[in-house]
A and B are shown apart, each in its own frame.
Chain A
Amino acid sequence: MTAPLFDLRDVGYHYGSQAALRDLSITVHAGERIVLLGANGSGKSTLLRVLDALYYPDAGSVRFCGRELTEELLLDDEFCFDFRRRVGLVFQNPDVQLFNPTVYEEIAFGPLQLRWPKEKIEESVARAMEFMQVEPLRSRPPYGLSGGEKKRVAIASVLVMDPEVLLLDEPTSALDPRSQSRIIDLIAAWKNSERTVITATHQLDIVEEIADRAHVLHEGRIVAGGAPREVLADLELLDRCNLVHRHRHSHDGVEHSHPHQHTHGSHEHKH
């Protein structure tokens, strides 16, 4: 069994007086594709930021390749540059991530900060733009772009550094169906590649395509984990964690209510 890439033990994190993560333990191995399932407020975004060494835990430890991620460690130039290149985070709100005046400069930002030589920057940016099909947008400012375009530029700006680990925060949120499926196809294509992908989402219908393992978060804790099919079959659990809605109907004077999720086929309820 190879050493885990990420090893979190009993991690806790607070926003002021509110706890966002409690006693959270999880391990991630290289090459895995994982989904963090949780409703809004369950702590998924916070967990991703802890994984990316943007937040440091109040309790417990976070280890990356055996080294504990602390504020001090990230002050070390060598480690910081290495870590920032190897681990990339795509934020949920692309506007937060598109802070440069043009698309080209945005994608070039990462390599510039990592002090890559000029030719390497130009080459990687060109490649990233082509891969995400945003070349025609290169001189455009971010505010004029559509939701799907912004998302593709945001992903390009992270992929340009060729990270080993990709952290995705709700990658399909606020996107039209076509853009959504493009993103999903992208993540699915990384199956069996060397890239480790950790996706946070509340969309149940994409989980099986994008992950080999699913963890369910509820109120800052991991309450379940396993193969996607198993996790998705546990409707009671999903209901408790606010990931499915309840269907209410009545017949013969009796009212029924049960958790329910939509699948692609037709559905009928047995009772």
Chain B
Amino acid sequence: MHIPDGYLSPATCAVMYAGAAPFWYVALRQLRRRLSTRLVPLISVFSAFSFVVMMFNLPLPGGTTGHAVGVGLATTVLGPWASILAISVALAIQAVFFGDGGITALGANCFNMAIVGSLVAWGVLRLASAGAAPESRRRVFAAALAGYVAINASALCAAVEFGVQPALFHDAAGVPLYAPYRLGIAIPAMMLGHLTIAGLAEAVISGGVVAFLQRGRSSILPGNIPALAAASSSSRVQPRLAAVLSLLLFCTPLGVLAVGSAWGEWSAREFGDPAARQRIAQSSGNQAPPDVLPKGMQHLASVWSAPFPDYAPRFIRSQKLGYMLSGMFGAGIILGGSLLAQSLLRIGRRQERPR
């Protein structure tokens, strides 16, 4: 599922980097504070481990083999934030050093596999293993399920990123400039392979290793690294919030493609086009829209494209892109801001307590 360079437009790549950055930043800050000296060796060595596990050729039911990313395992052992960092580092080294996955696409790959993957895995893990004893079979099942769902969520994100390319980025003749498969093709194509093969591989590694560790009564099982346990239990609220927001984040491109526009979200152009005016009237209880474009709308409509000089490529000035970008940035800012606020509040509370 590692997306190579050249399949996602530069704008998409930039947006994905921008989407990943707040998560990286928050993860680093959180972990730095809680793990302090332990952070660097823990993430580094675990990253090396996931890098190697990504190379295991796993035998699957049905006689096929597949590769796992190890995000289910990473989240189970380290918790979501450390997992985000560890998997991102492994992906970065794969991309830069071994050429697996593009460099401009690294933001997207990290967003899909490390970030969405870890957060979804965490959510599923908490839900599925709620109340189960550490040694129980249910934990094994929960880990396997978490891995399976997480990798499919990652694949869905990647498929959407691929799928919106033809609609958003094409030349004058309508020929796609980047990934050429629209959503209707990209989603089934990617999901088929992941629902069957890659998802199973992920489940095998996550569940299998947890089962193995349980048999040996290993001290690695979650909750046994004190600082990490503290780090992950106090982030109980955030991963759910983050998971929801991440879902929203990658749904915004879909919003762009919805046929017609949501009520109220009309572009300035539509007010001049008779067919569009008809549609607006119909959806507004048969009230005709004003003949003259409201001045405020006129002004706002140019806000997005104005900063870009006339010779900038057309797609940057497209309002659809502006919509998508602002949606993603907005959600990212909200998420980053709320997490930051939570961390600040916690610092404040801790300073009040007597040492």
Contact = CB atoms under 8 A, between A and B. Distances in A.
Q: Judge A-B direct contact (beta carbons within 8 Å).
A: yes
Interface of A: 16, 99
A16 B221 CA distance: 14
B41 A99 contact: yes
Interface string B29-40: 000000000000
A99 B44 CA distance: 10
Contacts of A16: 219
Nearest to A96: B41
Contacts of A99: 41, 44
Interface in B9-66: 41, 44
Chain A interface mostly helix, strand, loop or mixed? loop
B273 to A, nearest CB: 61
Nearest to B224: A16
A32 to B, nearest CB: 31
A99 B41 CA distance: 9
A16 B217 CA distance: 12
A99 B219 CA distance: 24
A16 B41 CA distance: 22
Interface residues of B, number: 3
3 contacts: A16-B219, A99-B41, A99-B44
A99 B42 CA distance: 12
Interface of B: 41, 44, 219
Nearest to A16: B219
Nearest to B45: A99
A16 B44 CA distance: 25
Nearest to B219: A16
A16 B219 CA distance: 9
A105 to B, nearest CB: 14
Contacts of B41: 99
A245 B41 CA distance: 39
B121 to A, nearest CB: 28
Contacts of B44: 99
B226 to A, nearest CB: 12
Contacts of B219: 16
B180 to A, nearest CB: 41
A7 to B, nearest CB: 27
B42 to A, nearest CB: 12
A16 B218 CA distance: 11
Question: Shortest 3 CB-CB distances between A and B: which pairs?
Answer: A16-B219, A99-B41, A99-B44
A16 B224 CA distance: 11
B36 to A, nearest CB: 11
B47 to A, nearest CB: 13
B152 to A, nearest CB: 36
A157 to B, nearest CB: 16
B332 to A, nearest CB: 33
A250 to B, nearest CB: 42
Nearest to B44: A99
Nearest to A99: B41
A39 to B, nearest CB: 24
A99 B40 CA distance: 11
A113 to B, nearest CB: 11
A81 to B, nearest CB: 14
A38 B44 CA distance: 33
B223 to A, nearest CB: 14
A16 B220 CA distance: 12
A99 B45 CA distance: 10
B213 to A, nearest CB: 15
B156 to A, nearest CB: 37
A39 B44 CA distance: 32
A56 B18 CA distance: 44
A245 to B, nearest CB: 31
Nearest to A15: B219
A206 to B, nearest CB: 32
A83 to B, nearest CB: 15
B321 to A, nearest CB: 41
A54 to B, nearest CB: 11
A99 B48 CA distance: 13
A18 to B, nearest CB: 11
